[in-house]
């Protein structure tokens, strides 16, 4: 059985108000690192506040270790939470900040000292225990908050955008630290972010949320390679996937996805899935690394259209090329050695049959 389960979880802030969390079902295994990923306002914070007990639920249940926790007070739930603004006490040293939750539990002085020191080692701040928050950097303060959260040895660790106040470089290094701490403590963790790179690098499984609903649950690469919905495909990946509104047409040699600018011959392996869409619209999605370009107009398999490159952005390991197809801007990821330059005409093709198709009304993946 799973360790933490959300069953038909619902939240309305007012009686007749909208469902902010709309029937969420999720099973989390012990020790898993789960990331809630979704745009602002989709209900991430609301969901973890319901788990921590800071917010009432409007429907459904939350089960930990086989038992509903809804009737338990926040402090009896075995949950530790880290907030975006790390909320450590300015008038207490790092040591006292970390010791605070243990003092509330009336734990003995020697035991407190031992546990604070070991949490500080885990968070990499053992040299800073005597300092006050004003004498520390933002990243160090965030580590104090992390140490304070792990010191209670929570059953469940909830982190609400804990890195968003840090500058870009520190974010990346703290993110590796959090992963290391997780491997050491092995606590069941839910980490909230709207940064897809953070989600990809930390998660055992990502839960993609949109408008209070779960769009997809899966391992990072699974969601990337096998996006279940238009939204999931658009939210994961930098640069994001390119999307085109097309219509599915039948021709003498199979099906094509067409619009004013594109005529893409659909690979035979996708015929069965796309045949029912004949004459209807479908959204074609292609990730930037799956677009091939060649200087000549070619008619081979995978051909998409012609385009003019507007910009070349070298990234070091690769280059991002920006082009327009009709009014739609597209991004192409090319090897760093590419000799394509701005204002040149190229021919675009889809590599290795890596096209995705989505239903424009429901957003659900067709193929």
Ligand X SMILES: Nc1ncnc2c1ncn2[C@@H]1O[C@H](COP(=O)(O)OP(=O)(O)OP(=O)(O)O)[C@@H](O)[C@H]1O
Under the binding rule (CB under 6 A), the answer on residue 299 touching ligand X is no
What whole-number distance in Å separates Cα of residue 31 and Cα of residue 211? 27
Question: With CB cut-offs between 5 and 8 Å by kind, which of Mg ion, ligand X, none does residue 366 bind?
Answer: none
Taking CB positions, which residue lies at the least distance from Mg ion?
45
Using CB under 5 A, which residues numbered 23 to 62 contact Mg ion? 45
Strands 156-160 and 79-82: parallel
Strand segments, DSSP code E, in the chain are: 4-11, 21-28, 33-37, 59-64, 67-68, 79-82, 156-160, 188-193, 205-210, 213-218, 242-251, 254-258, 263-265, 281-286, 291-294, 303-314, 318-325, 328-335, 345-350, 356-358
Using CB under 6 A, pick the residue from 20, 50, 99, 312 that binds ligand X.
20
Contact call for residues 256 and 270 (beta carbons, < 8 A): no
Residues 133/135/137/143 CA torsion (nearest 10 deg): -40
- Considering beta carbons, is residue 43 or 220 the nearer one to ligand X? 43
175 touches, from ligand X, Mg ion, none (C-beta below 5 to 8 Å by class): none
Q: What angle do CA 52, 142, 156 make, to 5 degrees?
A: 25
Return the number of other C-beta atoms located less than 10 Å from residue 95's C-beta.
20
Q: Candidates 42, 120, 282, 293: give the one binding ligand X (CB under 6 A).
A: 42
Q: Which does 246 bind (CB under 5 to 8 A by kind): Mg ion, ligand X, none?
A: none
Site for ligand X in 186-225 (CB under 6 A): 194
Among residues 14 and 299, whose Cβ is nearest to ligand X? Answer: 14
Are 322 and 280 contacting, i.e. CB atoms less than 8 angstroms apart? Answer: no
Distance (Å, whole) CA 248 – CA 140: 55
Partner in contact with 20, chosen from Mg ion, ligand X, none, beta carbon below 5 to 8 Å by kind: ligand X
43 makes contact with ligand X (CB under 6 A): yes
Question: Is residue 295 a contact residue for ligand X (CB under 6 A)?
Answer: no
Q: Which stretch binds ligand X (CB under 6 A): 41-49, 58-66, 88-96, 240-248?
A: 41-49
Is residue 45 at the binding interface for ligand X, with CB under 6 A as the rule? yes
The stretch near ligand X (CB under 6 A) out of 33-41, 180-188, 259-267, 280-288 is 33-41
Contacts with Mg ion by CB under 5 A lie at: 45
């Amino acid at each position: 059985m799973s360790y933490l389960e959300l069953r038909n979880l619902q939240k309305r802030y007012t009686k007749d108000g909208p469902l902010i969390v709309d029937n969420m079902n999720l099973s989390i295994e012990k020790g898993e690192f789960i990331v809630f990923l979704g745009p602002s306002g989709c209900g991430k914070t609301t969901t973890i506040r319901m788990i921590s007990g800071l917010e009432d639920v409007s429907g459904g249940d939350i089960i930990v270790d086989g038992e509903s926790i809804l009737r338990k007070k926040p402090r009896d739930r075995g949950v530790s939470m880290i907030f975006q603004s790390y909320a450590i006490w300015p008038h207490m040293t790092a040591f006292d900040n970390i010791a605070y939750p243990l003092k509330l539990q009336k734990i003995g002085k020697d035991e407190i000292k031992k546990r604070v020191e070991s949490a500080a080692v885990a968070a990499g701040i053992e040299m800073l225990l005597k300092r006050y928050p004003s004498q520390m950097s933002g990243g160090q303060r965030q580590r104090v908050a992390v140490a304070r959260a792990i010191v209670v040895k929570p059953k469940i660790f909830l982190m609400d955008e804990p890195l968003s106040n840090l500058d870009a470089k520190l974010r990346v290094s703290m993110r590796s630290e959090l992963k290391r701490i997780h491997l050491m403590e092995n606590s069941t963790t839910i980490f909230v972010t709207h940064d897809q790179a953070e989600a990809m690098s930390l998660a055992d499984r990502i839960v993609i949320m949109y408008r209070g609903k779960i769009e997809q649950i899966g391992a990072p690469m699974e969601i990337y390679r096998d996006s279940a919905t238009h939204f999931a495909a658009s939210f994961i990946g930098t640069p994001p996937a390119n999307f085109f509104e097309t219509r599915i047409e039948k021709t003498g040699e199979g099906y094509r996805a067409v619009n004013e600018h594109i005529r893409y011959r659909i690979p035979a392996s996708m015929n069965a899935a796309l045949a029912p869409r004949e004459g209807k619209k479908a959204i074609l999605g292609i990730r930037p690394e799956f677009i091939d370009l060649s200087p000549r107009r070619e008619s081979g398999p995978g051909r998409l259209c012609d385009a003019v490159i507007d910009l070349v952005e070298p990234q070091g390991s690769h280059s991002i090329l920006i082009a327009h197809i009709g009014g739609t801007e597209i991004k192409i990821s090319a090897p760093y050695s590419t000799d394509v330059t701005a204002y040149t005409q190229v021919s675009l093709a889809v590599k290795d049959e890596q096209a995705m198709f989505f239903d424009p009304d429901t957003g659900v993946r067709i193929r």
